[in-house]
Amino acid sequence: MIIADRKPIEEVIDQVKDFQKILIVGCNECVTVCEAGGKKEVGVLASAMRMYFMNQGKDITIDERTLERQCDNEYLEEIRNIIDEYDAVLSLACGVGVQFMAEKYMSKPVFPGVNTCFLGVTEERGVWTERCQACGQCILGLTGGICPVSRCAKRLFNGPCGGSTKGKCEISKDLDCAWQLIIDRLKELDRMDDYEKIMPIKDWSTERAGGPRKVVREDVR
Amino acid sequence: MGCKEGECRFTSGNLRARKRVEQAQQILDKIGIGGERVQMFNLSSAEAPRFVEIAIEMTEKIKQLGPNPIKLARQKKAA
């Protein structure tokens, strides 16, 4: 899922302090799971902002709404009949949702309430780590399910570099060497033949470096 | 008020509560209300005198801090 982190409240307030009626919109998917932008976080943020503005003597209306997702038209439509009541929208969705909201409601200023960080997993409650960089050409079948693009600091494709020491990456002793993990996993799976296969130079054009990307499925259009 | 650390019958409820109180304190500080208005104490249900001590201590502290600034802001606005 997409992992995001809450923006500092002072930064959020600074973005919207000149508006009179603000709608805070949360998202029920990834940002709920990583506890950054779900219904609960919307509630806490709205309450804190109301208290802040009251303390300043400002009469600002802050309302709350949480949509199932903000990356699908059907869900964004749900606020069409109320959005004109507001001067600004503070979206706690990931960057995708904020942008789609802004595209859909072009005359309404939309501000982000979270910083979108990476694609990752919940290792334990409160700890999220990166797993995928959406390179567009998944080779996880050959690496025992461990990604060298997102987890190797050098994004190497054919084994560890000389800096790999005692299973750790040379950039930090807290970082596992991805290739050590891959080799250990392939050994457990009895698939060390995959390690011996030389991977050719990667076609990076499907990665973000090749420009903004698009997927089209003619069969479902 | 939470149980003494290490004595929570739900193992870690009091530890989680402490973290949440700290979060609330940070938010209250950032929005100008003051995190010192919320505080967590750990004691057992058998420590009635300590409960009284804490209640008196917090009451005194709040009296010193004065009314909730939002209340004051509202009164000022109404006037």
Chain B CB contacts of A127 below 8 Å = none
Asked if A48 lies within 8 A of B32 by C-beta distance, the reply is no
Tell me whether A138 touches chain B (CB under 8 Å): no
Q: How confident is the model at residue B4 (pLDDT cuts 50, 70, 90)?
A: confident
Range of the domain at B51: 13-78
pLDDT given for residue A133 in this prediction? 94
Q: Number of structural domains, chain B?
A: 1
Q: Which tokens is B40 given?
A: 């967590």
Q: Which of A47, A51, A59, A125 to mutate to test the interface with B (most CBs of B within 10 A)?
A: A51
Structure confidence at residue A181 (pLDDT): 97
Does position A154 have pLDDT exceeding 90, yes or no? Answer: yes
Q: Retrieve residue A31's tokens.
A: 């940002």
Token reading at B9: 């019958």
Q: Does the pLDDT at position A134 exceed 90?
A: yes
Determine the distance in angstroms separating the CA of B48 from the nearest CA of chain A, rounded to an integer.
33
Given a contact cutoff of 8 angstroms between Cβ atoms, the answer to whether A98 and A91 are in contact is: yes
Domain count, chain A: 2
**How much is the ipTM here?**
0.80
Q: Are residues A103 and A29 in the same domain?
A: yes
Q: Note the pLDDT tens digit of each residue in A3-52.
A: 999 999 999 999 999 999 999 999 999 999 999 999 999 999 999 999 99
Which structural domain range is residue A42 located in? Answer: 2-118
Same domain, A172 and A89: no
B22 is a domain residue: yes
Q: Are residues A111 and A140 in the same domain?
A: no
Is A124 inside any structural domain? no
CA distance A119 to A33: 13
CATH number, residue A81: 3.40.50.2300
Q: Is residue B2 part of a domain?
A: no
Contacts 24+ apart (CB under 8 A), A172-180: A176/A151, A177/A152, A178/A146, A178/A147, A178/A148, A178/A151, A178/A152, A179/A148, A179/A152
| pTM of model > 0.90 | no
List, in sequence order, every beta strand (DSSP E) within chain A: 2-6, 21-27, 61-67, 88-91, 110-112, 114-124, 127-132
Q: Is residue B4 part of a domain?
A: no
A40 and A85 co-located in one domain: yes
More reliable by pLDDT, A169 or A209: A169
User: Per the domain annotation, does A213 fall within a domain?
Assistant: no
Spatial CB neighbours of A15, under 8 Å, sequence gap ≥ 6: A90, A111
pLDDT in tens, A195-215: 999 999 998 889 988 889 999
Contact B69 A9 (CB under 8 A): no
Residues A39 and A97 in one domain: yes
